[in-house]
Structure 1
Amino acid sequence: MTSRSPAKASRKTRGASVPARLYGIDAARGLALLGMMATHLLPTFESNADLTPTWIGLTFSGRAAALFAVLAGVGLALSTGKHQPLDGSGLSAARRGIALRALVIAAVGLTLGGVEVNLAIILVHYAVLFLCVLPFLGLRLKHLCAWAAGWILASPVLAYLLRPWLLAAEPPLSLGHNPKWEDLGTPGRLLADLFFTGYYPVFQWLSYLLVGLVVGRLMLHKALVPVVLLVLGSAVAVAAKALGVTAMESWGGRAALEQVLNSPGYPLDSVLQVNLTGIPQEGSWWWLASAAPHSGTTLDLLHTSAVAVAVIGACLLLGRLAEWVDLDLLLPLRGPGAMTLTLYTVHVWVVSGFYLKPLPAGWTEDGMYFAHAAVAIIVGVVFAVLKWRGPLEWLGHTASQAGRGELKALR
């Protein structure tokens, strides 16, 4: 959900190569958008007694949203100095700009929170993550790596200890719905939900932005960096998921959790594969050994972060291939990927129109998804070809420029 600026594939200035806008990043963001649409519109479980996971649930659940968050960190790194982070007044101006852009995203999210829709809307959490990552923007790569590793290891444990205490309050410090403007009247409950008890717990999800900052501080235009991202990300993702499955199935984790779980409508074997949100993760330390999507554990954060890193590496390599063959192979993805805030908002609004209503005659869930995806791709391509910003991207960019004190440049 970053602003766009037209750029050629590459150019020479005074004999030095100037890296192009990394269209692979926009393409990865487009994939994340399409993946989140899939989890919104297509079933993640079969309609049967044991809730058998579908391939949509197994493929996209937890991963698409995490890719969004990691890419947010990448985008922030690229806009604040790339591999040489800003400092001094430049960094302060960048932080002000990011903070104002976050307020725009939060306002959109709070407005969407007022519509009736059976979706977990990420925008307010996304905005809060932008604010939370501001102190880390001036750090060098080595320090960012340490913070990212430490946050992935420690934040799930602290959240596990705090969450039961927050939910035991009267009333429980959990919204049970998407954040909306009215919730500003109960700030304690809103903050507890955003950081610990809601669908996208910011406290753990800050890990994704820190990983994204690490990726964005690398020299992404170097030939081997995307290869390293793809190979290393794939290896870590497989290892984290394998360790989580082993802990649950071979070391007795699932058997131990079934003894403390009191959710008969949600078979543990299925939800561990697709989505652990809504399951009370308390009563056993074994919850922290799972790699289940949306569990917020160390293995979940590690696996989904690594998948995101691998996807980014793959998209950057495709961008290199597109330059080599002189064909814009990424346009169908990078187009919508450069205006995800607008397209995501419209997508949620359209889905809300069918809340608790049957689909139009002749429509199926598959058809509805492909319609949303096709419109997003077509609109994104048109805006990319015309070199336009999306409406909400323009608003966020303007707020960012205002924070940086650069509004005159827009006139």
Structure 2
Amino acid sequence: MTSRGTASPSRTAKGTSTTTRLTGIDAARGLALLGMMATHLLPTFEADAQLTPTWIGLTFSGRAAALFAVLAGVGLALSTGKQRPPQGRELSGARRGIALRALVIAVVGLFLGGLDVNVAVILVHYSVLFLCVLPFIGLGIRPLCAWAAGWVLLSPVLAYLLRPWLLAPSPPLQLHHNPGWEDLVTPGRLLGDIFLTGYYPVLQWLSYLLIGLVIGRLALTKAAVQVTLLAGGAVVAVLAKWLGGLAMNEWGGKEALQARLADPRYPLDSLLQVNLAGVEQSGSWWWLATSAPHSGTTLDLLHTSAVAAAVVGACLLLGRLGEWLSLDLLLPLRGAGAMTLSLYTAHVCLVAALYLQPLPAGWTPEGVYAAQALTAVLIGGSFAALNWRGPLEWVAHAASEVGRYQRAGIR
């Protein structure tokens, strides 16, 4: 799920700015991949009456997937001019290339949607996000900031108003499963789920790609920018969580929402800490005041994008430190991060193979995760050392190049 538009780090002279940028961004992608794998394979709640959150749920739920989406925007910015957005025919070609890349991702996602697996596959939503961000590719950083701020503030309100209307029909415009090929025959239901009622609602999640575009248009090789991303992201993330806690615990939000949550099997306290996906957030405006993971509220979007910005800043700084020490500190993560589409697809297929099957004797969920994570790191590191693209990355890159090549032939 990468968007690499510049030279591979291994082809760049040691100590140059391009190396720092690419190793840091790819490392952040690798961290996002390992975080998403953790939420898929390890429990996010304890098996007790209160559904006590585990450290996996508290650490990665909502944040790992959001990091993926923010990095998609960063990657698109890096592959379309970096600090200088494309214009004219170059912009048209870039948009066609992105659209064809999105098509490849959608095909893979629809294939994975046909598997029997207890994983919310992100790829179809991811591909639609690529298409939705096309009008913003040619914008400079100031209008991008304005669009990103407006989207973060207003898209949750619009989603809150539209969701009940989409859920009212019988059957509701909601899939309750990963989008697959069979869903193409009911486009209204499919689009309703992708944009508003599904696990990764594109209407709000476009905020992540817009913020990623803003980050990618910055001078990411400058230490001041890297430190600002780390420090500023950390501050905003803490403030967003603090405001959400105030709204729920001090201002009466939790009591109001508890009255709307009819099923006692799902304690609101635990859901607010780990995951609000699947909860019908309607009937009270207090839903918009939470900062819960996968709630799609303004505070949730702010918190998770700020965490993503801080992670990007930290990875870029680590890459800079590695260059100073003449050590590739990020190789384990950046190798996996450079071929996330291939590794994510393989991971989902493996999870599907294990679904509802007993684990081999002596294996635990932690062991399965460790084995998959280590395999991803080793494969990614090997491909990075050989300067190879992952197989699905190669297909996506080829599709993107076809779009750009068509541009060159137009007069």
Q: Shorter chain as normaliser: what TM range?
A: over 0.9
Bigger shift: residues 261-270 or 396-405: 261-270
SS of 1:224's partner is: helix
| Per-residue CA distance 1:316-368 (angstroms, 9 max, x = gap) | 00000011000100000000000000000000000001111111111001000
Q: Which residue of 1 aligns with 2:8?
A: 6
| Per-residue CA distance 1:175-202 (angstroms, 9 max, x = gap) | 0100000100000000000000000000
SS of 1:266's partner is: coil
How far apart are the structure 1 equivalents of 2:169 and 2:381? 49
How far apart are the structure 2 equivalents of 1:222 and 1:6? 19
How far apart are the structure 2 equivalents of 1:179 and 1:240? 32
How far apart are the structure 2 equivalents of 1:401 and 1:18? 25
Query: 2:52–2:270: 8 Å Cα contact kept in structure 1?
Result: yes
Q: Which residue of 2 aligns with 1:342?
A: 342
How far apart are the structure 1 equivalents of 2:354 and 2:386? 32
Q: Which residue of 1 aligns with 2:372?
A: 372
Q: Does 1:272 align with 2:272?
A: yes
SS of 1:44's partner is: coil
Query: 2:17–2:221: 8 Å Cα contact kept in structure 1?
Result: no
| Letter in structure 1 aligned against 2:9 | A
| Letter in structure 2 aligned against 1:22 | L
How far apart are the structure 1 equivalents of 2:132 and 2:120? 21
| Letter in structure 2 aligned against 1:77 | A
* TM-aligned CA deviation for residue 171 of structure 1: 1.2
* TM-aligned CA deviation for residue 9 of structure 1: 7.7
Query: 1:9–1:323: 8 Å Cα contact kept in structure 2?
Result: no
Q: Which residue of 1 aligns with 2:319?
A: 319
Query: 1:38–1:369: 8 Å Cα contact kept in structure 2?
Result: yes
Query: 2:9–2:18: 8 Å Cα contact kept in structure 1?
Result: no
Q: Does 1:61 align with 2:64?
A: no
Query: 2:93–2:405: 8 Å Cα contact kept in structure 1?
Result: yes
Q: Which residue of 1 aligns with 2:242?
A: 242
How far apart are the structure 2 equivalents of 1:179 and 1:3? 23
Q: Which residue of 2 aligns with 1:45?
A: 45
- Pairwise mapping of residues 297-316 of structure 1 onto structure 2 (< 5 A)? 297-316=297-316
How far apart are the structure 2 equivalents of 1:276 and 1:129? 21
Query: 1:121–1:178: 8 Å Cα contact kept in structure 2?
Result: yes
- Pairwise mapping of residues 126-145 of structure 1 onto structure 2 (< 5 A)? 126-145=126-145
1:402–1:10 Cα change, 3 Å = closer
How far apart are the structure 1 equivalents of 2:18 and 2:376? 28
1:407–1:396 Cα change, 3 Å = farther
Query: 1:11–1:18: 8 Å Cα contact kept in structure 2?
Result: no
Q: Which residue of 2 aligns with 1:121?
A: 121
SS of 1:51's partner is: coil
TM-score (norm 2): 0.96
Query: 1:3–1:389: 8 Å Cα contact kept in structure 2?
Result: no
Q: Does 1:155 align with 2:155?
A: yes
Query: 1:230–1:311: 8 Å Cα contact kept in structure 2?
Result: yes
Q: Does 1:23 align with 2:20?
A: no
How far apart are the structure 2 equivalents of 1:18 and 1:35? 27
How far apart are the structure 2 equivalents of 1:28 and 1:238? 20
* TM-aligned CA deviation for residue 19 of structure 1: 3.3
SS of 1:2's partner is: coil
How far apart are the structure 2 equivalents of 1:348 and 1:399? 23
| Letter in structure 1 aligned against 2:237 | A
| Letter in structure 2 aligned against 1:330 | L
Query: 1:290–1:297: 8 Å Cα contact kept in structure 2?
Result: yes
Query: 2:141–2:217: 8 Å Cα contact kept in structure 1?
Result: yes
- Where structure 2 has 5 or more consecutive residues not aligned to the other structure, the ranges are none
How far apart are the structure 2 equivalents of 1:367 and 1:276? 28
Q: Which residue of 2 aligns with 1:85?
A: 85
| Letter in structure 1 aligned against 2:208 | Y
- Where structure 1 has 5 or more consecutive residues not aligned to the other structure, the ranges are none
How far apart are the structure 2 equivalents of 1:322 and 1:407? 39
| Per-residue CA distance 1:130-168 (angstroms, 9 max, x = gap) | 000000000010000000000000000000000011000
* TM-aligned CA deviation for residue 24 of structure 1: 0.1
What is the RMSD of the two structures over their aligned residues, measured on CA atoms? 1.4
Query: 2:100–2:403: 8 Å Cα contact kept in structure 1?
Result: yes
Bigger shift: residues 101-110 or 355-364: 355-364
How far apart are the structure 1 equivalents of 2:17 and 2:274? 43
Query: 2:336–2:377: 8 Å Cα contact kept in structure 1?
Result: yes
* TM-aligned CA deviation for residue 263 of structure 1: 2.0
- Pairwise mapping of residues 196-215 of structure 1 onto structure 2 (< 5 A)? 196-215=196-215
Give percent identity, aligned residues only. Answer: 72
Q: Which residue of 1 aligns with 2:400?
A: 400
Query: 1:3–1:394: 8 Å Cα contact kept in structure 2?
Result: no
TM-score (norm 1): 0.96
How far apart are the structure 1 equivalents of 2:175 and 2:298? 25
Query: 1:401–1:407: 8 Å Cα contact kept in structure 2?
Result: no
| Letter in structure 1 aligned against 2:127 | A
| Letter in structure 1 aligned against 2:309 | V
How far apart are the structure 2 equivalents of 1:263 and 1:279? 10
How far apart are the structure 2 equivalents of 1:126 and 1:325? 37
SS of 2:9's partner is: coil
How far apart are the structure 1 equivalents of 2:230 and 2:17? 24
How far apart are the structure 2 equivalents of 1:292 and 1:9? 42
| Per-residue CA distance 1:27-58 (angstroms, 9 max, x = gap) | 00000000000000000000000000000000
* TM-aligned CA deviation for residue 80 of structure 1: 0.5
How far apart are the structure 1 equivalents of 2:187 and 2:139? 31
How far apart are the structure 1 equivalents of 2:351 and 2:289? 35
Q: Which residue of 2 aligns with 1:182?
A: 182
How far apart are the structure 1 equivalents of 2:260 and 2:39? 28
- Pairwise mapping of residues 356-367 of structure 1 onto structure 2 (< 5 A)? 356-367=356-367
How far apart are the structure 1 equivalents of 2:185 and 2:218? 42
| Letter in structure 2 aligned against 1:300 | D
How far apart are the structure 2 equivalents of 1:121 and 1:68? 13
* TM-aligned CA deviation for residue 297 of structure 1: 0.2
